[in-house]
Homo-oligomer: A and B are copies of this chain.
Amino acid sequence: MSAHRFDVLGLGNAIVDVIAPVDDEFLVEADVHKGSMQLVDQERAQRLYDAMGATTIVSGGSAANTIAGLSSLGGKGAFVGKVAADEAGRAFAHDIRAAGVHFSTLPASEGPSTARCLILVTPDGQRTMNTFLGACQNLTSADIDAEEVSSAKVLYLEGYLWDPPAAKQAFKTASGIAHAAGREVALTLSDVFCVDRHQQEFLGLMRDGFIDIVFANESELHALYQTADFATAVAALRRENVLAAITRSEKGAVIVRGDETWEVPAAPIENLVDTTGAGDLFAAGFLAGYTRSQPLDYCARLGALAASEIIQHFGARPETELARLADQSLYLREHSRAAEGA
């Protein structure tokens, strides 16, 4: 295994988030599933946008948020994703590079515009996402740079990549390259409806050895194993040959691998504003610890800490330097105390 240039290389949909606060009635009238991500076509996106209040525009995209978070924790990150050569695409490229992330995917010079995610945030801080995939549909295997992928300790893939059809092949190509180079491959299940759409394929990816690490929240896990019972889903997951990180919102996180289990509580927060990016940032913190060979329960705490920052403001990119937050965190220090006591 050669020296690495990156801790994590993320492959995902390159998306600009368009955020507005709404009340619950708006969700009912717009006929959207609260808390989920739905794909919308350009016309529906326009109609939703017209109905939304004044918006805040920030870069997003699930894996992109994760890599930006990793970078904020001092990790070396790279991202691969497709924007168009338009204003939003230039803003996306600016922002991810400004976060210290290596990003060299060529923008699509023709075809649909840069992807937008219209995010409706209700007063309870819950977010409901409506994604117009746009230029993301132009991501193909040709965008995978074998040297880049080989030089990252972990390749991180978002389940959402299963939505634009051509990206699926890019996903498999990248996974093959990473494994050939002796690297690990991580997958996030992304969203409960995403799992519904691609359940058999996601299970196949784990069972065919494409995936070494899985990130999921409780509902995604329930959807993956078609059960309403958490213990049943976790038991099934233990039989896959993967390391699994399961997030449970205010109940914290559970890491399982075969018969082993690590549990951590949620990091404390003062004010829940917008849950967008909670899962993405959990993965960022977890992988920042993991690529530095930290104990798995410390990795989970670092993930929970990163998630706690992101849910206290609009948008899914950190507004404070997470490395400094980690340095000052009592919650992280509790790990050491727990370890000493053990």
Quick check: A94 and B49 within 8 Å, CB to CB? Answer: yes
- Known pairs A21-B319, A319-B21; A91 contacts B57 (CB<8 A): yes
Q: How far, in Å, is A77 (CB) from chain B's closest CB?
A: 13
Pick from B56, B96, B99, B319: contact of A58, CB below 8 A. Answer: B56
Contacts of A57 in B (CB 8 A): 56-58, 91
- Known pairs A21-B319, A86-B87, A87-B88; A98 contacts B54 (CB<8 A): yes
Quick check: A317 and B95 within 8 Å, CB to CB? Answer: no
Q: CB of A315 within 8 A of chain B? A: yes
Q: CB of A255 within 8 A of chain B? A: no
Q: CB of A258 within 8 A of chain B? A: no
Copies of this chain, complex-wide, total: 2
Q: CB of A50 within 8 A of chain B? A: yes
A164 to B87, CA, bound (A): 24
Contacts of A94 in B (CB 8 A): 49-50, 52, 54-55
A49, A95, A96, A317: residue with the most chain B Cβ atoms closer than 10 Å: A95
Quick check: B99 and A54 within 8 Å, CB to CB? Answer: yes
Dominant SS among interface residues on chain A = mixed
Quick check: A54 and B88 within 8 Å, CB to CB? Answer: no
A98 to B319, CA, bound (A): 26
A20 to B55, CA, bound (A): 17
Q: CB of A68 within 8 A of chain B? A: yes
Q: CB of A308 within 8 A of chain B? A: no
Contacts of A96 in B (CB 8 A): 54
Taken residue by residue from 85 to 124, chain A's Cβ proximity to chain B (1 for < 8 Å, 0 otherwise) reads as 0111001001110110000000000000000000000000
A53 to B87, CA, bound (A): 17
Q: Which of A31-71 contact B (CB under 8 A)?
A: 49-50, 52-59, 68
Taking CB as reference atom, which chain B residue is nearest A56?
A: B58
Q: Which of A4-49 contact B (CB under 8 A)?
A: 20-21, 49
- Known pairs A87-B86, A87-B88; A95 contacts B58 (CB<8 A): no
Taken residue by residue from 187 to 221, chain A's Cβ proximity to chain B (1 for < 8 Å, 0 otherwise) reads as 00000000000000000000000000000000000
Q: List 13 A-B contacts (CB under 8 A).
A: A21-B319, A50-B94, A53-B98, A53-B99, A55-B91, A55-B95, A55-B98, A56-B56, A56-B57, A56-B58, A56-B315, A57-B91, A87-B87
Known: A21-B319, A55-B94, A56-B56; 7 extra A-B contacts, CB below 8 A, are A52-B94, A54-B58, A54-B59, A54-B94, A54-B317, A56-B57, A57-B91
